[in-house]
Structure 1
Amino acid sequence: MLAQWSTSGLFAGFAVAALVVFISGLRLTGLADKLADRTGLGEAITGAVLLGAATSLSGTIVSITAAYDGFASLAYSNSIGGIAAQTAFLAVADVTYRKANLEHAAAELANIFQSVVLIVLLALPLLAVNVTEFTIFAVHPVSLAIPVIYILALFATRDLRETPMWRPVSTRETRTDSPDKEDGETRRTSTARLFLSFFALMAVMGVAGWVIAKTAAEITGRMAFSESLVGALATAVVTSLPELVTTVAAVRRGALQLAVGGIIGGNTFDTLFLTAADVTYRDGSLYHAAGMEDYFWTVTAILMTGVLLGGLILRQRMGPWRIGLESVALLVIYAGAIAIQATAG
């Protein structure tokens, strides 16, 4: 059906779907913050699980749809490119928080642990591509290991929050995760209704993600663009817009752990794109079908996560332009990666 659309119509459809994703993301932050208080899970875990999964749904649909249609590189680069983009968004959020370095103020051990898990999960595709291709019903064993590690890490994160063996030093710039006071109208809204609204927005974003995947695949073929370039710098950035919106909104609400946890949790959740895409890609291992341009973004994502992890541990109070040095480094790395990819593409 899309083959009959004009090129301008395809770009218009892509833009409308991107706008839907953007607007939906605006509403999600407030709902996630309320649910963090109502459920007692805390901002970091709610950001890592609930908000991270919700804002990543459109990207998941893009990777699944692209893989099913045979666009292995687009499916892979959409997942990994989104991780790099979202990590850069955290640096943007740091710019908007003027009181101190965001990574210092949002001290939370769960976010540090999730960053370690993310590096491990990102290393698995590199391991897969460097050994002989082997699949089980056209699914690589690494794709089976990723969700297992992800789920085990969630349980470990919960235990870490309940009985931490390490605690960050509290300073006057540190913002603690404490429940917000609800007004009368908010209290009248049941927790079930909050969840219902949250999942409704997720569904809308999922449909928008499907439209983005279909239009992007058609544009890629029609304009002879590189799948990796489109995946990492078009679909990945567009489907990552909810993370940017929700992160900046969370910072402005003072929900700093939710902001950082939403990005790191969303990035960790994004590795599940690879499993979903490998299952729907029927021509063998997704990891062996992806190209070196795609693995360039994998290494970039690992590098950016390592820098972020260092910032979370070091907790610099203030750096240049009132942001952390790690935020400056993240923006430089991401901009450099874009320049290299654009030149190569």
Structure 2
Amino acid sequence: MIYAIFAVSAVITVIAAVRLSTYADVIGERTSLGGMMAGTILLAGATSLPEVTTSLTAVVVDNPDIAVSNVFGSNLFNMFILAGVDIVYRRKKMLSTADRSQLKTGGLGLVMALWMLTAILFPSGITFLGAGIEVYILVLLYSIGMYWISKTSGMPDEGAELTESQLQAISLRRAKWGFAAAALVIFVTGSALSITGDLIAQATGISSSFVGTFLIAGATSLPELATVIVAVQLANLNMAVGNILGSNVFNMLILFVIDIAYRGGAAAAVIHPVTAVSAGAVILMNAAVLAGIWYVQRRDTGRKSYVFPSLITVLLYIGASYAVFTFSG
């Protein structure tokens, strides 16, 4: 029964998250939020809402392991999505389309992940308003990084934009109500994912860190998979890359929300040490993707040599899965 509820919640979350992104795009285009910055933030929040609700619910049920590992697991799965889709659609050479702003976004995500790995390995023990000082610095890094990106190259896109005909087919009123309804659905199903995930961990003996990193994170990252595939099929390859890199940066901010909600001090200081493995894997996969973009944009690669960076990224994901499962017991 627990598994059935988890599976149904995952399916509903994916469907609702895809609709949420659609409505967010319409609202951003048709209101004062239509500016690049506001539209991007709205879309980023929409695509990351499943991660937010599952992590917050995990805190409520006093399982910070699931809350934190879900964030790193989602970023791991997102990188796996990017690499996997790039291999499947290798003829399109998706990574070669990434512009400089995408590389800067990926670099920001790398710096934020490095900082949080440091916080996990060497917690300061300093808190402010119930949250660790590390997450305040994380927000500062995000703010400085996004300001720099917006000033030097414009804000990166977070998801596949709708065509003009699609925009015209959805009224602003419908978009607002649809956004609210989809957000409510995700709040309920995302909460169900965390609760059932916690029960699955207890029933099977599998650690909460593994459940959060791969089971729950994989479910909450499926909307990104759908968005990337749609973007590739629409030949908007640059946006497919930006969707993943931008979402990963925004996901890191959820760690701040987790710390504020968790009343037991800094969450990073009380989680299972194996979460550091997940954080390290995020850094390695992020670096592999950035190196892959640099590589394919500077060399005339054939089809076989082109997929080499993405293949390394997939292997890193498999290795991280094995390591977290092995050391999380």
TM-score range, shorter chain: 0.7 to 0.9
Residue type matched to 1:152 in 2? Answer: I
SS in 1 for 2:164: coil
Q: Return closer, same or farther for 1:162/1:144 CA change in 2, 3 Å cut-off.
A: closer
- Once the two structures are superposed, what CA deviation does each residue of 1:189-233 show, in whole Å capped at 9, x if it has no partner? 445644553454333223211110111112222332201111111
Q: Which residue of 2 aligns with 1:68?
A: 60
State the aligned residue count. 320
User: Do 1:37 and 1:179's aligned partners in 2 also have CA atoms closer than 8 Å?
Assistant: no
> Which of 2, 7, 28 is equivalent to 1:10?
2
TM-score normalised by structure 1 residue count: 0.82
Name the counterpart of 2:94.
102
Alignment-derived partner of residue 5 in structure 1: none
Which AA in structure 1 matches 2:265?
G
> How many angstroms apart in 2 are the aligned matches of 1:163 and 1:341?
34
- Between 307-316 and 329-338, the greater mean CA deviation after superposition: 307-316
Cα gap change, 1:34 to 1:102, in 2 (>3 Å): farther
Report the CA distance between 1:322 and its aligned residue.
7.9
Cα deviation for residue 180 of structure 1 reads: 7.5
Name the Cα RMSD after superposition.
3.0
Structure-to-structure mapping, 1:19-98, within 5 angstroms: 19-27=11-19, 39=34, 41=36, 49-98=41-90
| Inter-CA distance 310–33: structure 2 relative to 1 (3 Å threshold) | farther
**1:115 lines up with 2:110 in the alignment:** no
- Calculate percent identity across the aligned residue pairs: 28
Q: Which runs of 5+ in 1 are unaligned?
A: 1-8, 165-177
1:46-103 deviation digits (Å, cap 9, x = unpaired): 6x64443222111111111212322121111111111111111011221343443211
CA distance change for structure 1 residues 179 and 263 in 2, over 3 Å: closer, same or farther? closer
Rate the CA distance shift 1:319–1:189 in 2: closer, same or farther, 3 A.
Answer: same
Deviation, structure 1 residue 14: 0.8
Of 304, 324, 328, 2:307 maps to 324
CA distance in 2: counterparts of 1:98 and 1:35, whole angstroms: 34
Residues 101 and 319 in structure 1, CA contact (< 8 A), matched pair in contact too = no
CA contact (8 A) 1:55 1:202 kept: no
Q: Is the 8 A contact 1:74 1:228 kept in 2?
A: yes
Residue 228 of structure 1 pairs with residue 206 of structure 2: no
Distance 1:181 1:23, change over 3 A: closer
2:183 aligned partner: 202
Q: Which residue of 1 aligns with 2:130?
A: 138
Contact kept, 8 Å, 2:91 with 2:303, in 1: the verdict is no
Partner of 1:310 in structure 2?
Answer: 291
CA distance in 2, matches of 1:232, 1:285: 19
- Amino acid corresponding to residue 338 of structure 1 in structure 2: S
Matches within 5 A, 1:258-273: 258-273=239-254
- For structure 2, the 5+ residue unaligned runs are none
CA contact (8 A) 1:49 1:265 kept: no
Secondary structure at 2:253 match in 1:
helix
Task: Give the SS at the match of 1:225.
Answer: coil
Instruction: Verify the 8 A CA contact 1:98 1:322 in the aligned structure 2.
Output: no
TM-score (norm 2): 0.85
CA contact (8 A) 1:111 1:264 kept: yes
